[in-house]
Structure 1
Amino acid sequence: LYARNEQYRSWLKLDKDSRPIAFWMTGFFNPQGFLTAMRQEVTRANQGWSLDNVVLTNKVTRMDREMLKDPPREGLYVYGLYIEGAKIKNGVLDELKANEKVLTHLMPVIHISAEADFGTGAAPTKQDRRPVYYAPVYKKPRRTDRNFVCTLKLECPPGEKAGPDVWALRGVALLCDTK
């Protein structure tokens, strides 16, 4: 509760036209509404886009919150998410070792933005061909529809034995709160 209060207080101290460098996702009562507002902001900034055709996109950075100097040009940085069932190493999913007793790990900062999806059927670019796992994001560890926030793309390591199905079977998910 104290951290949530601090986030809001620091936000109020900013100039009217500025924004925080990063947002603590756990501090929002309604993270889905926050992400929808960001989608609306990106949609308004791009002529010819409709909110119906705009989807979330993300990139896991290799930075901690303290390393950020400026907010992104488009979208936003979020921090404070945890990954359960795996960990992130160099921006890529990595398996937990059998002797590790910690099931959740703090995620690095994630850049979340929005992009137009007009369903043109364009061929994927070379970057899009990398296998990704669409990890569900939940507010709490209890994985119910009520706690579901969105899905975020996590890059899979190279190799056929570490594709998206492997991470789905391991139950990998992102959590806003571990309690």
Structure 2
Amino acid sequence: MQAYPSLKPLSSWVMDLLQRINFLQGWISDGIPAVFWISGFFFPQAFLTGTMQNFARRSVLSIDTVGFDFQVMKESVEELKERPDMGCYIHGLFLEGARWDGQAGQLIESRPKELYTEMAVIWMVPVPNRKPPPSGVYVCPIYKTLTRAGTLSTTGHSTNYVIAVELPTDRTQRHWIKRGVALICALDY
């Protein structure tokens, strides 16, 4: 049997499968959603590449010159009714090793005994000739499952790795790396 990567027990896996089917059925029935459930995709990298391709075609640019900028939204999924003009809104990620402070708009320490927290909606904004910010961000990897390993793909990345997003912080990269902070598409329960 072939399926998307998951560490869930069977009952949770079936519930997750039904949620994925409902997400895709809603897309078919109601049109393109304002916010995409990134965890619901079998291969989220292809969706993100498609987002960049749409921008590159509309802007008449080479896709090789386009990168993502990231903006964490204050609005919830329910409040975001319209799609952005450029890029896409994504949700469904969980932070491991830290939490998002919506008031301060940055990463902060986890509460005691809090392993995972829900991440706010992220706006993936395609930008031509993007230069990464010099400081004030943590380059946070997104993984499909809690297992931060997989077979190496042709890109040299793990098949479990999706993309890295830049999250605002007042701490150093090293601080969050030591805590193993990452965004996860699907938990194991």
In structure 2, the CA distance between the partners of 1:62 and 1:130, relative to structure 1 (3 Å rule), is: farther
Give the structure 2 partner of residue 92 of structure 1: 106
Gaps of 5+ in 2: 1-16, 150-157
Give the partner amino acid of 2:27.
W
Number of positions where the alignment pairs a residue of Structure 1 with one of Structure 2: 162
Give the structure 1 partner of residue 42 of structure 2: 29
SS for the counterpart of 2:19 is: helix
Task: Compute the displacement of 1:129 (Å).
Answer: 5.5
Give the partner amino acid of 1:85.
G
**Is the aligned partner of 1:132 residue 2:137?**
yes
**Is the aligned partner of 1:8 residue 2:31?**
no
Q: TM-score, normalised by structure 2?
A: 0.81
Indicate the RMSD between aligned Cα atoms, in angstroms.
1.6
Q: Distance in 2 between matches of 1:108 and 1:140?
A: 18
Identity over aligned residues, as a percent? 35
Q: 1:42–1:113: 8 Å Cα contact kept in structure 2?
A: no
**Is the aligned partner of 1:103 residue 2:139?**
no
Gaps of 5+ in 1: none
Give the structure 2 partner of residue 76 of structure 1: 88
Q: Distance in 2 between matches of 1:31 and 1:146?
A: 11
Moved over 6 A (4+): none
